[in-house]
Amino acid sequence: MTDLRPQPARAELTDLRADGAAALEWAARYLERVGELPVLAQVAPGDIRARLPKTAPEEPEPFADVLRDLDEILLPGVTHWQHPRYFAYFATSSSEPAILAELLAAALNSVAILWRTAPASTELEGVVLDWVADLLGLPAGWHVHIEDTASTSTFAACVAGREATGRDLIVCSEQAHSSVDKAARMLGMRLRKVPVDAEFRMRTDALGDLSDAAVMVATVGTTAVTAVDAVGVLADACAGSGTWLHVDAAYAGAAMVCPEFRWAFDGVDRADSLVVNAHKWMLTPTDCSLLWTSRPEDFRRAFSLIPEYLRTPDAEDALSLSEYGPALGRRFRALKLWAVLRCHGRSGLERHIRSGVELATRFERWVAEADGWELCAPRRFSVVCFRLQGEDERNRALLERVNASGEVFMSHCVLNGRYVLRLAIGQMSTTEDDVRRAWEVLVREAARL
Ligand SMILES: Cc1ncc(COP(=O)(O)O)c(C=O)c1O
């Protein structure tokens, strides 16, 4: 008779203990030396692909070969988000407890399609997110679950808002994240953009008629300048028109762990839904987007779809978090967040946020005091928007040169029609020396233009 079992001689090429130790050593060593690598990958499109085989291997290969190729082929094509001088977009850290928890989550391989397929994952998710709600000063008792990204969270909120109101218009400011445009496009909903004031906040005197608005998306910490919309005023307007209020605090929400930033959450307790990304400023690797709602039944009406083969007793069905969002299979993301909260504690998160803001404050001062440079928006948290006085072209060329140096990585935005540079601090290994180096590179490259 043919033996159909996997052939052990080849399967044993991976040894979890030995290869795991080597992988862990690789990770530890990587984190120790990442600061010496060029931040922005110094490769051209297609370079990495060209170095990889076109087909999968016919026979099993040892895991050691995977690690070798990670070093030799892939590493040159990595832009290092874990680098202390990563200052682009929103800098973020994957901290050690979360790295280890990701390994354990993959070992457990819980798939939370239903409460019964993953009771621990489902219940830990609720508990850990209640902890976060407490840390951020949110109302107790809101329903919460984890989505992959803020884009998905905002999409889901728009679905729930449309379901609850029966309307098809989304309203947001012209500084809202593009995920709102994308949600509107995917849902076939109309989108109205409200102009912003001099500080890039949604103009509350320009909201227009909201009587046909399904969803208003307010932003606490906009993508370009981290402006904070007046959520309380917008909550009043939404209450008057029966509009669903979704608050996008993907980046800045994490800062609410520090009481001195809570002013930015004024009125958030009146939102219908709120998204905060743990994978931006909360020491947790992507993906981990936290979506709260004060109206869980609307989410459930919008998303619940249980075919017979997934039916369980009602009391269990109600606990399945797949009932509240687009995905059926949900991975054990709460484990890494749990590890982060336990191993950093409230005090660790506070220190991380305060250090980012303090470093940004120093950088802002250097720019303000330097001839030929200008600040372009009020700084609220850890992002500074600035530029060389003069033409856009000089600023564009400057950013190219700075990023090509490999010493730092920054990004840009356009404000009032002008090209603006952004320095975003959020990596936990960033020190004052790193921020000073960024300033020195900017000044040096500006002189060479
Ligand atoms: C304010 C805001 N909302 C949403 C997003 C989208 O986040 P994600 O990548 O998790 O979809 C971003 C990304 O930077 C953002 O700045």
Rounded to an integer, what distance in angstroms lies between the CA atom of residue 150 and that of residue 148?
7
Ligand 1 centroid to Cα of residue 253, in Å, is: 12
pLDDT at 352 exceeding the cut of 60: yes
Pocket lining for ligand 1, CB < 6 angstroms: 89-90, 149-151, 177, 179, 219, 221-223, 248, 250-251, 277, 289
Ligand 1 centroid to Cα of residue 133, in Å, is: 19
Sheet holding 383-388, edge to edge: 373-375, 383-388, 418-424, 411-415
Question: Burial letters for 314-351: b for 16+ Cβ neighbours within 10 Å, e otherwise?
Answer: eeebeebbbbbbeeeebbbbbbbbbbbbeebeeebbbe
User: Which atom in ligand 1 lies closest to the alpha carbon of residue 287?
Assistant: 10
Q: Per-residue pLDDT tens for 148-206? A: 999 999 999 999 999 999 999 999 999 999 999 999 999 999 999 999 999 999 999 99
Q: Per-residue pLDDT tens for 110-127? A: 999 999 999 999 999 999
pLDDT at 218 exceeding the cut of 90: yes
Tell whether pTM > 0.85.
yes
Pick from 177, 196, 248 the residue to mutate for probing ligand 1's pocket: most ligand atoms within 8 Å of its CB. 177
